[in-house]
């Protein structure tokens, strides 16, 4: 099959990681997979995608991802492929529009349980039009599917759930960074600095714990990075919060930390959630859509934006070795349910079913 994936950019994020993984593994399985990026700015994920040997169509370098000229560019490119797969808002709309002139089987993945558009009723008719242009909608969690169905009320397009997956064996067997290990108990969060994330609550939680015993590492970049860094400085946390930026060795960083946390306002199905659980470390998450479904009964949930509760959980994991080991093992067993091989088999089945029709 000839498969084209379309995404806004390859900056840090779950959707971007899925594009890299699908491209790499589907090409290993003998398919031709290429990628369109509206913003082709250089990133670690962009380097990863080039290493797959795929063709990358970059529409701009730092330009707007909502440029309507992208629709015309897509028309000329899409006709070379058997199936087109879109990710994120502007590619979803622009692929749907371009396909009016192409008539190809198109599929999209809904990566979040909600988005800001759904709070504005003016968007609903346009969203319904867009989703109904697709042959298949993939949701990455049960909650994402439920919320989308409730929002659209009725959708003619079949919806299928395919959970995000990670290479569990690779992460579990990775080694810690020997040069970066701290003498303190390290809490790690791997996430882009975006409005949906909540690094602030995690900083507040660490500020409630003894300074000589606990340290916070934040991996990622994004629009809110400067705001979060300024907040940490204002709380006198400059020496206790380490900002790592984007990393290509996340698996090694996970093994260097003592606990992995995801503090967020909402998620789709967080790859960082599953990667954290794969590391053999206890995983803590906000009790919100997209994190609750994976974590409950395995890792530890804390009430949304409750820094005191989060601090108490971290302290207990630090003090109680038996509890620490119990949560870590439960998390690893949960991660095995989301292995990347399962995800790829299901994506391949979707592509084949669309092409055969």
pLDDT in tens, 144-197: 899 999 998 888 899 999 988 888 998 999 999 987 777 899 999 999 999 999
| pTM of this structure | 0.71
- Provide the pLDDT for residue 267: 84
Calpha distance 264→164 (Å, rounded): 18
- Provide the pLDDT for residue 128: 94
Give the mean model confidence (pLDDT) for residues 46-52: 95
Q: Is the pLDDT of residue 232 over 90?
A: yes
28 CB contacts (<8 Å, ≥6 apart)? none
57 contacts 83 by C-beta, under 8 angstroms: no
Indicate the pLDDT class of residue 320, thresholds 50, 70 and 90.
very high
- Residue of 247, 243, 276, 246 whose CA lies nearest to 260: 276
| Residues 234-264: tens digit of each pLDDT | 999 999 999 999 888 999 999 999 999 999 9
Calpha distance 321→325 (Å, rounded): 6
6 contacts 87 by C-beta, under 8 angstroms: yes
For the CA atoms of 333, 335, 339, 340, the dihedral, rounded to the nearest 10 degrees, stands at: -170
Calpha distance 12→47 (Å, rounded): 12
State what percent of residues in the chain have pLDDT above 90.
79
Exposed / middle / buried, residue 309 (Cβ in 10 Å: 0-12, 13-18, 19+): middle
Domains of the chain by start residue, with CATH: 2-165+339-356 (3.40.50.2000), 168-338 (3.40.50.2000)
Q: Which two tokens stand for residue 4?
A: 């084209």
Which DSSP string do the residues of 222-265 spell out, in sequence order? -TTHHHHHHHHHHTT-TTTEEEEES-S-HHHHHHHSSEEEE-BS
Mean pLDDT (the chain, rounded): 93
Exposed / middle / buried, residue 130 (Cβ in 10 Å: 0-12, 13-18, 19+): buried
């Amino acid at each position: 099959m000839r498969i084209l994936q379309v995404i806004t950019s390859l900056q840090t994020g779950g959707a971007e990681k899925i594009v890299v993984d699908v491209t790499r593994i589907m090409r290993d399985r003998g398919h031709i997979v290429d990628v369109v990026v509206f913003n082709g700015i250089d990133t670690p994920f962009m380097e990863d995608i080039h290493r797959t040997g795929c063709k990358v169509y970059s529409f701009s370098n730092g330009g707007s991802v909502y440029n309507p000229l992208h629709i015309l560019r897509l028309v000329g490119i899409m006709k070379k492929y058997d199936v087109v797969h879109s990710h994120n808002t502007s590619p979803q709309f622009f692929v749907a529009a371009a396909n009016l002139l192409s008539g190809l089987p198109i599929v999209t993945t809904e990566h979040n349980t909600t988005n800001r558009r759904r709070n504005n009723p003016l968007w609903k008719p346009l969203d319904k039009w867009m989703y109904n242009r697709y042959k298949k909608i993939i949701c990455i969690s049960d909650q994402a599917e439920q919320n989308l169905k409730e929002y659209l009320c009725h959708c003619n397009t079949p919806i299928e759930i395919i959970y995000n997956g990670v290479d569990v064996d690779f992460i579990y067997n990775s080694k810690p960074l020997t040069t970066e290990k701290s003498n303190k108990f390290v809490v790690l969060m791997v996430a882009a600095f975006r409005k949906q994330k909540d690094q602030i609550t995690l900083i507040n939680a660490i500020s409630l714990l003894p300074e000589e015993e606990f340290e916070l590492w934040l991996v990622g970049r994004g629009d809110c990075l400067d705001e979060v860094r300024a907040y940490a400085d204002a709380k006198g946390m400059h020496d206790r919060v380490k900002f790592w930026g984007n990393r290509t060795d996340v698996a090694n960083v996970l093994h260097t930390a003592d606990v992995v946390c995801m503090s967020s306002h909402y998620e789709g199905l967080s790859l960082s959630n599953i990667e954290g659980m794969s590391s053999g470390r206890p995983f803590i998450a906000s009790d919100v859509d997209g994190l609750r479904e994976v974590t409950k009964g395995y890792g530890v949930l804390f009430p949304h934006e409750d820094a005191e509760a989060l601090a108490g959980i971290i302290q207990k994991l630090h003090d109680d070795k038996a509890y620490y080991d119990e949560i870590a093992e439960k998390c690893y067993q949960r991660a095995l349910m989301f292995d990347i091989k399962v995800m790829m088999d299901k994506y391949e089945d979707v592509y084949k079913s669309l092409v055969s029709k």
